[in-house]
Structure 1
Amino acid sequence: MAQQPISLPAKLINGGVAGLVGVTCVFPIDLAKTRLQNQRGSQRVYKNMMDCLIKTVRSEGYFGMYRGAAVNLTLVTPEKAIKLAANDFFRQRLSTGELKLSVFQEMLAGCGAGMCQVIVTTPMEMLKIQLQDAGRLVAQQRKFPVLHTVKLGTASPVLNCSYSVGPVSSTRKVSAIQITQELLRTKGIQGLYKGLGATLLRDIPFSVVYFPLFAHINKLGKTSEDDEVPFYWSFISGCVAGCTAAVAVSPCDVVKTRLQSLNKSANEDTYNGVADCIRKIMRKEGPAAFLKGAGCRALVIAPLFGIVQVVYFIGVGEFLLGQTPFNLYSV
């Protein structure tokens, strides 16, 4: 069966809409994941995901669970659009006119998608983590007032004004725009791409595992070659593949989160690259530290990619472009 050419604009729209819907649904769990990954054993503020969410609501209000969501929602559209469209693009280029690809070709297409998406993923994660982790540092200062000093990886005055020192701290909100401007002023464009290597180490293996696994599980939902896969099966396939890939690369996500966290309390380590981060975590916290937040990450990624795949396969982009008076669908 010959493969139909993809419509790149439609796939970009599908990926963007899917990302917006998915992130809106699971963002509070993602916030809990970031805070759990960043806390050290000696200064634990949160016991688990539910404890983190409850304490966040109590101290920061309901919208505290969506701290950093604006950055994520703004950039997740191009990120998911690039990821999903790139995978489709590479799958089509690697095929030889037949619909079926070998597992190696599917993994290669996923690798290409993972490499493309970090253009947007790295600065998005960089900004999101600063905003998500602010509440943890304030809560930590309240619980451990003697350790009230905050170290800043960038010596940034904008980031420095986020926290006041003393036994009881309060957060002076800093926007993603302020952080971006300060990073660009002090570090240049590379400031926004801190942790790029760790992001690549996470996103390439994730895509290599996720896309082939999703394709094979999703194919099981077909009763015959000509049948469409039911939307609920696409959701289940996205959840299973996403959860599996998320847990598999969770250690890389911990390293990435630690490297991209600019604000640290007095006794928290700073890291000089991926190798230094891995070495210090292993020596001071043990192997179990690499699985911090793994449960939260699985709970984020599973429904996120389930929702993404349903929206993607429904064909929102094809529908929208089909309503226009221009022939954009065939571009």
Structure 2
Amino acid sequence: MQTREFIASLVAGGCAGMCVDLTLFPLDTIKTRMQSQQGFYRAGGFRGIYSGVPSAAIGSFPIAAAFFVTYDFTKSLLGAGGGMATPQVAPVTHMLAASLGEVVACLIRVPTEVVKQRTQASPSSSTYQMLLATLTEEGVRGLYRGFRSTVIREIPFSLVQVSLWEYLKALWSWKQGHTLYSWQAAVCGAFAGAVAAFVTTPLDVAKTRIMLAKAGTTTAGGNIPQVLYDVWRTTGLTGLFAGSVPRVIFISMGGFIFLGAYEKVHRTLL
């Protein structure tokens, strides 16, 4: 990857991430409160819908930038030559690049997600107060609670979203005989995001429960199968897919903005 391409991926990814997180933040708050163990209204309902937004604002640019820089670098590295450069193997290349991109992005995403979600579920506390409380009670390790569950959620999500996005772009481009416009790439992103969001909702529920659980509890231990079983036992299939509607809307609209903005800025910079 050349320096110019690196900068384009960095800036385009960061700008796209900020556009989504700040525009659609209320939907994310609603989703978090629907998934919280205490229930939607006890977690704040529609009150303080922007609680935790400073954490999202600070983290959105570096998270998205880290993902796309890693994704584009890995994709260019794997596609530089050999068997991985053939069109037939392109989906595998996209999956590997997306998975690695998510692991790197989660190093930044998880601390911001922990503080953001805890503030969303406790609107009477500020982002700064929640950060201090987490560090005081659990130390830096507390900021990475749910790292494994986040990675386990993000990797299948990206495998579905990015692979489907790349496939739809290639198919649409082939049918019309030229490269897609930015809005067309955005439409592909919206559809891919909606599908990925729905199928990974149970993993998102487990991640939210683990991050919001009190330190020392069984849920806080991060045993994903156990958390999913507990949700199934107490609330059934409805609980496993709690928040799926706002999550699908958020990520579908987010996919339109995120992947569309990325394509537009990336092309402009190159």
Mapped to 1, the partners of 2:137 and 2:90 lie a distance apart of 47
Q: CA deviation at 1:220?
A: 2.5
Aligned residue for 1:272? 221
How far apart are residue 178 of structure 1 and its match?
Answer: 2.8
Structure 2 residue aligned with 1:84, among 68, 73, 78? Answer: 68
Displacement of 1:21: 1.0
Q: Counterpart of 1:26?
A: 24
Task: Write the distance in 2 (CA, Å) between the matches of 1:248 and 1:281.
Answer: 17
Secondary structure, aligned partner of 2:139: helix
What is the aligned partner in structure 1 of residue 236 from structure 2?
A: 286
Distance 1:86 1:225, change over 3 A: farther
Give the AA of the match of 2:69: A
TM-score, with structure 2 as normaliser: 0.87
Task: Kindly state the Cα deviation for residue 185 of structure 1 after the two structures are TM-superposed.
Answer: 3.4
CA contact (8 A) 2:214 2:220 kept: no
State the Cα distance separating 1:238 from its structure 2 match: 0.6
Q: More helix by proportion, 1 or 2?
A: 2
For 1:297, the equivalent position in structure 2 comes to 247
1:183 matched to 2:150 = no
> Structure 1, residues 160-197: CA drift from partner, whole Å, max 9, x if none?
xxxxxxxxxxx3xx332232233233322211000111
**8 Å contact kept, 1:217–1:237:** yes
Alignment-mate amino acid for residue 87 of structure 1: Y
Amino acid across the alignment from 2:250: V
2:8 paired residue number: 10
Give me the whole-angstrom Cα distance separating, in 1, the residues matched to 2:227 and 2:150.
13
**Post-superposition CA distance 1:22-49 (Å, at most 9, x none):** 1222111111101111156xx6639xxx
Distance 2:126 2:267 in 1: 32
**Superposed, which structure 2 residues align to 1:233-252 within 5 Å?**
233-252=184-203
> Can you give the 5+ residue segments of structure 1 that lack an aligned partner in the other structure?
47-51, 136-170, 320-328
Percent same amino acid at aligned positions? 26
Counterpart of 2:50 in structure 1 is 66
Q: Distance in 2 between matches of 1:196 and 1:65?
A: 25
State the match for 1:131 in structure 2.
119
Supply the AA of the counterpart residue of 2:111.
Answer: P
For residues 185-237 of structure 1, what are the alpha-carbon distances to aligned partners after superposition, in whole Å with 9 as ceiling and x for unaligned? Answer: 33222110001111011011111111111001112232579833112211111
How many Å apart are 1:120 and its aligned residue?
Answer: 1.1
Tell me if the contact between 2:51 and 2:126 (Cα under 8 Å) persists in the aligned partners: no
Equivalent residues of 1:13, 1:317 under 8 A apart: no
Tell which deviates more after alignment, 101-110 or 189-198: 101-110
String of CA shifts for 1:107-164, please: whole Å, max 9, x gaps.
11111112111101111110111111124xxxxxxxxxxxxxxxxxxxxxxxxxxxxx
Q: Distance in 1 between matches of 2:30 and 2:67?
A: 24
Q: TM-score, normalised by structure 1?
A: 0.72
User: How far has the Cα of 1:271 moved from its partner?
Assistant: 4.4
**1:18–1:7 distance in 2 versus 1, CA, 3 Å:** same
SS class of match (1:286): helix
**Aligned partner letter, 2:183:** Y
- Determine if contact 2:205/2:241 at 8 Å carries over to the other structure: yes
* Count, aligned residues: 264
Shift of 1:313: 1.1
Say if 1:303 and 1:251 are closer, same or farther in 2 by CA, change over 3 A: same
Using the alignment, how far apart are the partners of 1:99 and 1:176 within structure 2?
A: 47
Mapped contact 1:122–1:193 kept (Cα < 8 A): yes
Give the whole-Å Cα distance in 1 for the aligned partners of 2:52 and 2:66. 21
Aligned counterpart for 1:217 among listed residues 168, 171, 186: 168
The one-letter code matched in structure 1 to 2:22 is T
Residue 80 of structure 1: how far off its partner (Å): 0.9
1:95 counterpart (79, 82, 92): 79
- Mark the CA change 1:262 to 1:282 in structure 2 (over 3 Å): closer, same or farther: closer
Q: CA deviation at 1:87?
A: 1.3
Q: Tell me by how many angstroms 1:95 deviates.
A: 1.0
Runs ≥4 residues deviating over 6 A: 3-6
Asked which structure has the greater CA Rg, the reply is 1
CA distance in 1, matches of 2:18, 2:161: 20
The alpha-carbon distance between structure 1 residues 313 and 243, as it changes in their structure 2 partners (threshold 3 A), is same
5 Å matches for 1:109-188?
109-135=97-123, 171=124, 174-188=125-139
